[in-house]
């Protein structure tokens, strides 16, 4: 699963990390996260893995 973590696949909204928009050149994305909105907000390792999966999916070469 490249884009969605297994936890969110099984239980949607487990983690909070959403793409808000793409820039015009379609090489940059803006994301929003609010951990308090996540159902599993104490799942630190899972949340970090979710972020990493999404960022590597949209731009594996470079993200900040």
Q: How far is CA 58 from CA 12, 13, 63, in A?
A: 20, 20, 9
pLDDT above 70 for 3 = no
pLDDT above 70 for 29 = yes
* 1 inside domain: no
pLDDT above 60 for 36 = yes
pLDDT above 80 for 11 = yes
Q: Is the pTM of this model over 0.85?
A: no
pLDDT above 60 for 44 = yes
* 20 inside domain: yes
Please give the residue range of the domain that contains residue 54: 6-58
Q: How far is CA 4 from CA 12, 25, 57, in A?
A: 10, 24, 9
Q: How many domains does the chain have?
A: 1
- If one compares 62 and 57, the residue with the highest pLDDT of the two is 57
């Amino acid at each position: 699963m490249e884009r969605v973590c297994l936890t969110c696949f099984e239980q949607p909204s487990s983690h909070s990390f959403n793409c808000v928009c793409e820039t015009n050149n379609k090489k940059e994305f803006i994301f929003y996260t609010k951990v308090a909105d996540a159902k599993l907000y104490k799942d630190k390792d899972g949340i970090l893995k979710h972020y990493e999966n999404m960022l590597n999916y949209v731009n594996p070469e470079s993200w900040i």
